[in-house]
Structure 1
Amino acid sequence: MTTYFRPSIDAIAGYVPGEQPKPGTKIIKLNTNENPYPPSPVAIKVLRNLDSEWLRRYPDPYASEFRKATSEALGFPVDWIIVSNGSDELLNLIVRACAELGRNVVYPVPTYVLYRTLTQMQPAQQVEIPYAEDYRLPIEELVAANGAVTFIASPNSPSGHIVPIADLRQLAARLSGVLVVDEAYVDFAEETALPLVKEFDNVIAIRTLSKGYSLAGLRLGFGIANPKLLSGLFKVKDSYNIDAIACLVGAAAMRDQAYKNECTQKVKASRAKLAVDLKQLGFQLWDSQANFLWTQPPQSNAEQIYLALKQRGILVRYFKQPGLEDKLRITVGTDEQNQLLVEALIHLV
């Protein structure tokens, strides 16, 4: 059969996002790690009062208003910040700018599977280093792999564990390539790798507004790194990759840190309660600093429970992959949603 694509594209399966029910569907959605609380009222006000002139004109190619708000919130100069259409776009930019055949992309597994997909699309060679059962960072193996790019998700998905900053510092000091610390879930964690960005010019920390800020539908992410590292990424990004609405709404959300922190504290409290409830049902859990829990049912029948919950109108995430097929990733919902999940599980385990 005739193909129109590069061999590397024909060979890959492509990334499969979590299930997205149709709007208005009555379902408890605990499968894609959205924040269960609404976005900042300040951000919503900006959206409702948006001047149509912002839609007529091309947007600011550097999302300057959002960069300024992020600079104010996190204490980094504006020129240390790059803005992207969701953090996934920034992951893609890094692979496109830094990796090719002969220049490996390295990461520990299990982790965010998009790293593999982006590497295969480039094309480049991925080197996957298995985590041990305790999820200790395999520093020696990662260094030996000599990656042009090394991805570390912290907190990690699907495990939820955080990589100690001391381990990341040791890794950054020994790598010759770029160290990407993917902090998509950092708003629910107790530690951040941002200090390393100031210490090392080969480190970039990546964040998103999808989780802590309840703006997954806005598609807005950003990276923080030394301007020398960002210079190549600016060459690769699309001219107008951030639309005007996302820039203005995102800037308002970034300036409302008090509201974001209030919501993330509620999620963290609910996470702790849900963990206790699941353990009482016999689930094995791993310590999580994200807005989800990585769990193993008492009978290891994860797929069966996933399907039974789906029939009851509750979505959780099941990965039918070697090493993951006996586990479930469960997004932390509101206390009411979590209680409905627990009540359903009582009849399934």
Structure 2
Amino acid sequence: MTKYFRSNVDAMASYIPGEQPQHGTQIVKLNSNENPYPPSPAALAVLKNIDGEWLRRYPEPFGGEFRQAASKVLGVPSDWIVVGNGSDELLGLIVRACVEPGKKVVYPMPTYVLYRTLAEMQAAEIVEIPYSEDYSLPLEELVAVDGSVTFIASPNSPSGHLVTTNELRKLASQLSGVLVIDEAYIDFTEENALVLVEEYENVIIIRTLSKGYSLAGLRLGFGVANPKLLQGLFKVKDSYNIDAIACAIGTAAITDQVYKNACVAKIKASRNQLATDLKQLGFHVWDSQTNFLLVHPPQKKAEYLYQKLKEGGILIRYFKQPGLDDKLRISVGTDEQNQTLVKALSSLL
């Protein structure tokens, strides 16, 4: 049989995203950590008034309009921002620009499984360091490896815990490679690590509009770092990686902080109520600073509950891998969706 692919690609397992039912399907979808509320009215207004000229011409290659808007919101210079087709593209750019075959990519586990996929694409040496049961950062072990790229998701998925800025500062100060702080869920926390990009040239903060801004279908993310670090990423990104429509809608969305913060407040309140309800059903619920909960169901019924809920039209996330195969990850929906879930779980248990 003819082999078309590089040996490391042949050996890879494909990344498996959360199930996406067809539009119009009557499903309670709590498996992909999407925001249950619609995007900002300002963003939707831009979508309704798309100028055909935007489609005829190539877009601005660096997403300049969005960079300016994000600069004002974050209080960082616009040339410290790189825009991507979702934050996943930026994670891929970092690995492509900074990792050669055989070089080390390191991260604590469990975490976002795409890190492994991206490292495997580059034939990198992958070093996965287990989190302890309390999800404290394995600082000394990460420093000892000193990878070409070190990934830290904060808040982390699927655990939902936040790594403090002080811990990340200690890590950044002792690494010679790039420290990627993936803040996809940062809108749901009280603390962020943005200040570290000013303190350390090797730190890049990655964010997305998929979670807090309800724009998962748009595919728009951005990174913040010293321009010396961004210079290499610009060399390997596609010429026109951000389409004009995404840039315009994303600009309106990130500018409307009042709407985003109101939605986030509702999700936080719903998260707390859902955690309380699940605990009353006998679940162990880890503290979360995200828009999802990691839970351990009673009677060791994780896979059973996942399958039965799916049969009943409710999707949550089950990871059949060591350390997670007795747990479930549940996205926080609207209060109505959450109560539908709780009632179904109560019946199944």
Q: Give the TM interval when normalised to the shorter protein.
A: over 0.9
The separation in 2 between residues aligned to 1:260 and 1:86, in whole angstroms, is 18
User: Which residue of 1 is the match for residue 198 of structure 2?
Assistant: 198
User: Which residue of 2 is the match for residue 230 of structure 1?
Assistant: 230
C-alpha displacement of 1:347: 1.1
C-alpha displacement of 1:74: 0.6
User: Which residue of 2 is the match for residue 23 of structure 1?
Assistant: 23
The residue type paired with residue 187 of structure 2 is D
User: Which residue of 2 is the match for residue 87 of structure 1?
Assistant: 87
Please tell me whether residue 3 in structure 1 is matched to residue 3 in structure 2.
yes
With structure 2 as the length reference, what TM-score do the two structures score?
A: 0.99
Please tell me whether residue 171 in structure 1 is matched to residue 156 in structure 2.
no
C-alpha displacement of 1:101: 2.3
Q: For 1:45-64, what per-residue CA distance to the aligned partner results, in whole angstroms no more than 9, with x for missing partners?
A: 01101110000000000000
8 A Cα contact 2:102 2:123, kept in partner:
no
User: Which residue of 1 is the match for residue 151 of structure 2?
Assistant: 151
User: Which residue of 2 is the match for residue 139 of structure 1?
Assistant: 139
Q: For 1:96-134, what per-residue CA distance to the aligned partner results, in whole angstroms no more than 9, with x for missing partners?
A: 000112321000000000000000011111100000000
| Partner SS, residue 127 of structure 1 | strand
The separation in 1 between residues aligned to 2:44 and 2:338, in whole angstroms, is 26
C-alpha displacement of 1:40: 0.2
| Partner SS, residue 195 of structure 2 | helix
The separation in 2 between residues aligned to 1:332 and 1:199, in whole angstroms, is 34
The separation in 2 between residues aligned to 1:50 and 1:308, in whole angstroms, is 43
Equivalenced residue count is: 349
The separation in 1 between residues aligned to 2:218 and 2:280, in whole angstroms, is 37
Q: For 1:235-282, what per-residue CA distance to the aligned partner results, in whole angstroms no more than 9, with x for missing partners?
A: 010000000000000000010011000000100000000000000000
C-alpha displacement of 1:222: 0.1
8 A Cα contact 2:84 2:241, kept in partner:
yes
Which runs of 4 or more aligned residues in structure 1 lie more than 4 Å from their structure 2 counterparts after TM superposition? none
The separation in 1 between residues aligned to 2:21 and 2:102, in whole angstroms, is 41
User: Which residue of 2 is the match for residue 42 of structure 1?
Assistant: 42
| Partner SS, residue 298 of structure 2 | coil
The residue type paired with residue 158 of structure 2 is P
The separation in 2 between residues aligned to 1:211 and 1:181, in whole angstroms, is 16
The separation in 2 between residues aligned to 1:149 and 1:297, in whole angstroms, is 35
Please tell me whether residue 120 in structure 1 is matched to residue 112 in structure 2.
no
User: Which residue of 1 is the match for residue 310 of structure 2?
Assistant: 310
Please tell me whether residue 208 in structure 1 is matched to residue 187 in structure 2.
no
The separation in 2 between residues aligned to 1:131 and 1:262, in whole angstroms, is 33
User: Which residue of 1 is the match for residue 101 of structure 2?
Assistant: 101
The residue type paired with residue 273 of structure 1 is Q
Q: Percent identity, please.
A: 71
| Partner SS, residue 151 of structure 1 | strand
The residue type paired with residue 174 of structure 1 is Q
C-alpha displacement of 1:2: 1.4
Structure 2, unaligned stretches of length 5 or more?
A: none
| Partner SS, residue 141 of structure 1 | helix
User: Which residue of 2 is the match for residue 262 of structure 1?
Assistant: 262
The residue type paired with residue 208 of structure 2 is T
The residue type paired with residue 44 of structure 1 is L
C-alpha displacement of 1:12: 0.5
The separation in 1 between residues aligned to 2:193 and 2:348, in whole angstroms, is 40
| Partner SS, residue 305 of structure 1 | helix
The residue type paired with residue 51 of structure 1 is D
The residue type paired with residue 171 of structure 2 is L
The separation in 2 between residues aligned to 1:243 and 1:276, in whole angstroms, is 42
User: Which residue of 2 is the match for residue 298 of structure 1?
Assistant: 298
User: Which residue of 2 is the match for residue 220 of structure 1?
Assistant: 220
Please tell me whether residue 33 in structure 1 is matched to residue 33 in structure 2.
yes
C-alpha displacement of 1:82: 0.1
C-alpha displacement of 1:147: 0.3
C-alpha displacement of 1:299: 1.2
The separation in 2 between residues aligned to 1:229 and 1:268, in whole angstroms, is 34
With structure 1 as the length reference, what TM-score do the two structures score?
A: 0.99
C-alpha displacement of 1:93: 0.2
